[in-house]
């Protein structure tokens, strides 16, 4: 067995404090999920960086392809009406 197959890559996500979402912080190698979690704790939270950790096998992530970024993401570009700044509001309305 190659070392890579023996200890595959895991992606690590950390919630830095309650109320925030988990953010991707990096990756590491581990033979199984338990070790991945333990390693993530040691490697990525030495300075109190987190209150919760997710580990995900890198191979199980399905990602959008950069080649299709036009068809994937450009359609959102011509829909400014999704953003609040699209709408003009009379000055006398202070908060909306």
Partner 1 sequence: MVAGAAAVSTLRIADDCLVLSHRLAQWSSWAPTLEDDIALTNIALDLLGQARAMYARTAELDGTGRSEDDYAFMRDERAFVNCLLVEQENGDFATTILRQLLCSTYQLAQWQALTTSTDGQVAAIAAKAVKETEYHRDHATDWTLRLGDGTDESHQRMESALAALWPFTAELFESDDVSRDAAGLGVGPDPEDLRAAWDAYITRVLDDATLVVPKVSWKPTGGRQGLHTEAFGYMLAEMQHLHRSFPGVTW
Partner 2 sequence: MRSNGPIERDLAGSAVSGGDAGGAVGDAREAEFQALIEADQRIEPRDWMPDAYRKTLIRQIAQHAHSEIIGMQPEGNWITRAPSLRRKAILMAKVQDEAGHGLYLYCAAETLGVDRSELIDLLHQGRQKYSSIFNYPTLTYADVGAIGWLVDGAAITNQIPLCRCSFGPYARAMVRVCKEESFHQRQGFELLYALSHGTPEQHEMAQDAVNRWWWPSLEMLGPPDTESTHSAQSMAWGIKRFSNDELRQRFVDMVAPQAVVLDLVPPDPALRWNEERGHYDFGPCDFEELRRVVSGDGPCNRQRAAHHLKAHEDGAWVRAAAAAYAAKHAASAAA
Residue 38 in the binding site for partner 1 (CB under 8 A):
yes
List residues near partner 2 by CB under 8 A. Answer: 1-7, 9, 11, 25-29, 31-32, 35, 43, 46-47, 58-59, 61-68
Q: Which two tokens stand for residue 60?
A: 């199980």
41 DSSP 8-state letter: H
Spatial contact of 34 and 40, defined as CB atoms under 8 Å apart: no
Residue 58 near which of partner 2, partner 1, none (CB within 5-8 Å, type-dependent):
partner 2
Binding test (CB under 8 A) with partner 1, winner from 1, 19, 42, 88: 42
Spatial contact of 7 and 18, defined as CB atoms under 8 Å apart: no
Q: Minimum distance between the CB of residue 60 and partner 2, rounded to whole angstroms?
A: 9
Given its phi and psi angles, is residue 33 left (phi above 0), alpha (psi -120 to 50 degrees) or beta?
Answer: alpha
Residue 33 in the binding site for partner 1 (CB under 8 A):
no
């Amino acid at each position: 067995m190659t070392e890579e197959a023996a200890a595959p890559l895991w992606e690590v996500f950390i919630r830095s404090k309650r109320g925030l979402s988990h953010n991707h912080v990096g990756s590491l190698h581990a033979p199984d999920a338990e070790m991945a979690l333990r390693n993530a704790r040691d490697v990525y939270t030495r300075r109190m960086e987190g209150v919760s950790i997710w580990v995900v096998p890198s191979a199980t992530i399905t990602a959008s392809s950069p080649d299709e970024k036009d068809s994937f993401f450009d359609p959102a570009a011509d829909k400014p009406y999704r953003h609040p700044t699209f709408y003009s509001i009379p000055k006398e309305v202070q908060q909306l």
